[in-house]
Chains A and B, each alone.
Chain A
Amino acid sequence: MLDDKITSETFWEGVWENNPVFVMLLGMCPVLAVTNSTINALAMGLATLFVLLSSSLLVSLIRNWIPKQTRIAIYIIIIATFVTVVDYVIQAISLDLYNALGAFIQLIVANCMILGRAEAYASKVPPVKSLVNALGMGVGFTIALLCLGSVREILGSGTLLGFDLFGEHYQQWVVMILPPGGFFVLGGWLLLFEWLRQRKEQEES
């Protein structure tokens, strides 16, 4: 299954077939926590994408060199290093953004999607292939965060990317930007994707 050929499936797997959020249900902590506005979701998605790309590349490059027994520890060190880099870079780019994302930047270290990709994929395939797959996964993750973030922002604040959509008489559905709203919206999207999948399967059979 894991040969060295790069196909379009290498990329699209992460976006659709094995979307880290909607199919594999990985990395739920940032998915639920920072998706209360579109811009936070986008920033978190891009930060995760960067960490995923760089750690996948590095893990793939040194995959034949690290002893099996210490591999997880090494993956964690690599991931933590890139997360710390992202942490400082975001602080340098914008303090406002940094304050908005709060502790969740540091928590990318514990995002099981990244460790999962390192262990299950990057450590078994050559660098370019692992990079393409990581890009797909990261894009899939970012899209999923945006799906949640935009719906929650529209319902909960009546805005999208900060622009007022419904005028001042809109009664905000505040629960949507609170933690329960994260579960509601995630459940809604999961239902939708499952329904789409079943319909596709029925059409095929």
Chain B
Amino acid sequence: MTETTVEKPSSLRMIISLTLVSILSGIAVVSVYLYTKPIIDENKRRAIEAAVLKVIPDAAGYQPFLLEDNTLKPATDSKTKGLLFYAGYDQHKQLVGLAAPANAQGYADKVYIIYGYRFDCECITGVKVIKHAETPGLGDKVITDQSFVANFDALDAKVNVEGSALQNRIITVKHGAKTNPWEIDAISGATITSRAIGKALDIGAGQLLPQVLKFRDQLEAQ
């Protein structure tokens, strides 16, 4: 920096320095990725396990299944074609319910949830948000607001007589306007996120439950 005429360094030197730095950076990123990947995967698996066991209150264990072209098969890792769901069993290996992922567009991005369903009451027994990008402190009230969470203590999700769809579509209503057991009472101030969860349930459960019920015997035998 002391020379008065600034010498232009050779292109070769610039190329070498950039290449070297990039290679080292690549190595660093890849090694951190490889080191943390099993931990991150384990974290994700545990998050799903905790979520599944939480949304089916009586479940002691669960097994993943895939519904594809009207056939039921055990879900293997990393294959996500078809409808994925988790059948929940109690301590006596009796089928109690199921949990399944669903998603819908929220305020900022898609809201990903796992919901639980019980066969005996034909209702949704819990919802857990897995991933969201909603406004912290506002949209994420759907996780913390106890009166909203109480919507899913026993949200009606009966399948109609024909077994083709839900008897009553799950809808989100304005805060305080809930009159039917299949309605979700929205949080004022987080209406869009509340609606996203209602929509995710309506689409997810509406698609999955009518099909799953046909395989109930098969699931119970597992």
Contacts and interface: CB of A to CB of B under 8 A. Distances in A.
A157 interface: yes
A21 to B, nearest CB: 19
A85 B32 contact: yes
Interface string B26-54: 00110011001001100110010000000
Given A68-B9, A84-B29, A91 B36 contact: yes
Interface in B1-15: 6, 8-9, 13-14
A99 interface: yes
A52 B6 CA distance: 30
B137 A156 contact: yes
A67 B136 contact: no
B137 A65 contact: no
A186 interface: no
Contacts of B33: 88
Given A95-B44, A156-B137, A70 B14 contact: yes
Contacts of B13: 67
Contacts of B43: 91-92, 94-95
B9 A69 contact: yes
B25 A78 contact: yes
Contact of B137 (A81, A85, A94, A177): A177
Interface size class of B (residues with CB under 8 A): 20 to 34
Nearest to B34: A88
Contacts of B28: 81, 85
Contact of A89 (B22, B36, B131): B36
Contacts of A67: 9, 13-14, 17
Contacts of A34: 136
A147 interface: no
Nearest to A101: B136
B137 A157 contact: yes
A167 to B, nearest CB: 15
Nearest to A33: B136
B14 A69 contact: yes
A177 to B, nearest CB: 4
Interface string A1-39: 000000000000000000000000000000000101100
A69 to B, nearest CB: 6
Interface in B38-78: 39-40, 43-44, 47
A88 B14 contact: no
Contacts of B133: 102-103
14 contacts: A34-B136, A37-B137, A67-B9, A69-B14, A74-B21, A77-B18, A85-B32, A88-B40, A91-B36, A157-B137, A174-B138, A174-B189, A177-B136, A177-B137
Given A91-B36, A99-B131, A177-B136, 17 more contacts: A37-B136, A65-B17, A68-B6, A68-B9, A74-B17, A74-B18, A78-B21, A78-B25, A81-B25, A84-B29, A85-B28, A88-B32, A88-B33, A95-B40, A174-B189, A177-B135, A177-B138
